[in-house]
Protein backbone atom coordinates (compact mmCIF):
# COMPACT_ATOMS: atom_id res chain seq x y z
CA UNK A 1 0.00 0.00 0.00
CA UNK A 2 1.27 3.33 -0.84
CA UNK A 3 0.83 5.88 1.83
CA UNK A 4 1.97 8.81 -0.16
CA UNK A 5 0.54 11.99 1.16
CA UNK A 6 -0.72 14.00 -1.70
CA UNK A 7 -0.52 17.64 -0.81
CA UNK A 8 -3.88 19.31 -1.11
CA UNK A 9 -4.23 21.67 -3.99
CA UNK A 10 -3.35 25.15 -2.91
CA UNK A 11 -6.42 27.16 -2.17
CA UNK A 12 -5.44 30.59 -3.23
CA UNK A 13 -7.79 33.50 -3.47
CA UNK A 14 -8.38 34.52 -7.04
CA UNK A 15 -5.78 37.04 -8.05
CA UNK A 16 -7.22 40.45 -7.56
CA UNK A 17 -6.47 42.52 -10.56
CA UNK A 18 -5.40 45.95 -9.56
CA UNK A 19 -6.40 48.05 -12.45
CA UNK A 20 -4.68 51.35 -12.10
CA UNK A 21 -7.05 53.34 -14.22
CA UNK A 22 -10.31 51.99 -12.90
CA UNK A 23 -13.02 54.48 -12.08
CA UNK A 24 -15.16 53.45 -9.11
CA UNK A 25 -17.91 55.88 -10.01
CA UNK A 26 -18.91 54.27 -13.27
CA UNK A 27 -17.06 51.02 -12.56
CA UNK A 28 -15.04 50.95 -15.70
CA UNK A 29 -11.81 52.04 -17.23
CA UNK A 30 -11.08 55.71 -16.93
CA UNK A 31 -11.73 57.50 -20.16
CA UNK A 32 -10.13 60.77 -21.00
CA UNK A 33 -8.83 62.99 -18.27
CA UNK A 34 -8.19 61.68 -14.79
CA UNK A 35 -9.23 63.10 -11.46
CA UNK A 36 -7.17 62.02 -8.48
CA UNK A 37 -8.63 62.21 -5.00
CA UNK A 38 -6.41 64.56 -3.00
CA UNK A 39 -6.73 62.41 0.10
CA UNK A 40 -6.44 58.78 -0.95
CA UNK A 41 -5.08 59.26 -4.48
CA UNK A 42 -7.82 57.14 -5.98
CA UNK A 43 -8.27 57.89 -9.62
CA UNK A 44 -11.56 58.61 -11.31
CA UNK A 45 -12.58 59.99 -14.65
CA UNK A 46 -12.65 63.74 -14.56
CA UNK A 47 -16.14 63.57 -16.03
CA UNK A 48 -17.34 61.24 -13.29
CA UNK A 49 -15.70 63.41 -10.65
CA UNK A 50 -17.50 66.45 -11.98
CA UNK A 51 -20.81 64.62 -11.89
CA UNK A 52 -20.04 63.38 -8.39
CA UNK A 53 -19.29 66.92 -7.29
CA UNK A 54 -22.59 68.17 -8.70
CA UNK A 55 -24.43 65.28 -7.13
CA UNK A 56 -22.79 65.88 -3.80
CA UNK A 57 -21.14 62.47 -3.90
CA UNK A 58 -18.00 61.64 -1.99
CA UNK A 59 -14.89 59.72 -2.85
CA UNK A 60 -15.90 56.08 -2.74
CA UNK A 61 -12.80 55.06 -0.87
CA UNK A 62 -12.17 57.76 1.69
CA UNK A 63 -15.39 59.83 1.63
CA UNK A 64 -13.45 62.93 0.83
CA UNK A 65 -15.38 65.64 -1.00
CA UNK A 66 -14.83 65.54 -4.71
CA UNK A 67 -13.30 68.82 -5.79
CA UNK A 68 -13.08 68.35 -9.53
ZN1 LIG B 1 -10.42 59.55 -1.68
ZN1 LIG C 1 -15.76 57.18 -14.44
Is 49 among the domain residues?
yes
**Least distant ligand from the CA of 51:** 2
Total domains in the fold of the chain? 1
DSSP string, 6-45: PPPPP--PPP----TTEETTTTEE--SSEEE-TTT--EEE
Is 11 among the domain residues?
no
Q: Of the candidates 49, 47, 48, 44, which has an alpha carbon nearest to the alpha carbon of residue 21?
A: 44
What is the domain extent for residue 41? Answer: 22-54
Distance CA 52, CA 21 (A): 17
Q: Give me the pLDDT at residue 10, please.
A: 82
| Mean pLDDT (the chain, rounded) | 89
Is 6 among the domain residues?
no
Q: Give me the pLDDT at residue 19, please.
A: 58
Taking the centre of ligand 1 as the mean of its atom positions, its distance from the CA of residue 14, in whole angstroms, is 26
Is 37 among the domain residues?
yes
Is 32 among the domain residues?
yes
Taking the centre of ligand 2 as the mean of its atom positions, its distance from the CA of residue 16, in whole angstroms, is 20
Q: Give me the pLDDT at residue 62, please.
A: 97
Is 7 among the domain residues?
no
Is 27 among the domain residues?
yes
Is 9 among the domain residues?
no
| Predicted confidence (pLDDT) per residue in 14-32, tens digit | 666 655 789 999 999 998 9
Distance CA 63, CA 36 (A): 13
Amino acid sequence: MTDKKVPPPPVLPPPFKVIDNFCLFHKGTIQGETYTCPKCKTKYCLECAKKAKLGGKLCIKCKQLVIA
